[in-house]
Structure 1
Amino acid sequence: MKWVSAVLLCLLVMLQYRLWFGKNSIPDYLSMQKEVEIQSIQNANLKQRNSLLIADIEDLKIGLDAAEERARNDLGLIKQGETFYRILPSEN
């Protein structure tokens, strides 16, 4: 009877060791769960950026107004007959 109890106790200790310190243990599970949360946040940010880029592409496909606005803001487009004024802040 003592022999069976010793074997069962040994098996219990080995299973507990594997649960807490072995491969795919509880600490491994918790660290992977944190990595999944971080990746989910990154994916959400990328989805938001992609939706903004898709909206920008659709605006550019629809008309020339969006392209002209973008050229004015990004490239400093000035049409023929327009006058460009540059206002500098005071040095005070």
Structure 2
Amino acid sequence: MDIKSNSFFYIFISVVLLLIAILQYDLWFSNTGFIKYQALKKSVISQQKEVKHKSQTNVQLYSEVVSLRQNSEVLESLARENMGLIKQGEVFYSVK
């Protein structure tokens, strides 16, 4: 009976170790595992930075739109600088 209980013990330990190995593999390498979690976490952080940057850009653009709507002089200045527009009767000189 000693041999029988001894072999049962080894089989039991082998099964437990196999289950632990399977669970560890699942923990680290499955689609819901730790490595996938770390990759997704990096992706989320990167996307949050991008969203923050785009939000800041949107705020700047919005303030520019507001100033263009409220002040026609700013609009005229931008049109003259960026598009080379001139008023009737004016002469444009380009100095390089």
- Above 0.5 in TM-score? yes
What per-residue deviation string (whole Å, max 9, x for no partner) do you get for residues 49-86 of structure 1? 11111011110121211211111112112224433221
Q: Secondary structure at the match of 1:66?
A: helix
Q: Distance in 1 between matches of 2:80 and 2:17?
A: 78
Q: 4+ residue runs of structure 1 moved beyond 4 angstroms?
A: none
Structure-2 residue corresponding to 1:26: 34
* Number of equivalent positions: 88
Residue identity (%) = 33
1:39 to 30, 47, 64: 47
TM-score by length of 1: 0.80
Q: Which sections of structure 2, spanning at least 5 residues, go unmatched?
A: 1-7
Q: Give the greater-gyration-radius structure (CA).
A: 2
Q: Distance in 2 between matches of 1:47 and 1:40?
A: 10
TM-score by length of 2: 0.77
Q: Which sections of structure 1, spanning at least 5 residues, go unmatched?
A: none
Q: Distance in 1 between matches of 2:70 and 2:42?
A: 43
What is the root-mean-square deviation of aligned Cα atoms in Å? 1.8
Q: Does 1:63 align with 2:82?
A: no
What per-residue deviation string (whole Å, max 9, x for no partner) do you get for residues 1-45 of structure 1? 614333322221111110122221111111111211221221122
Q: Distance in 2 between matches of 1:51 and 1:72?
A: 24
Q: Secondary structure at the match of 2:94?
A: coil
Structure-2 residue corresponding to 1:50: 58
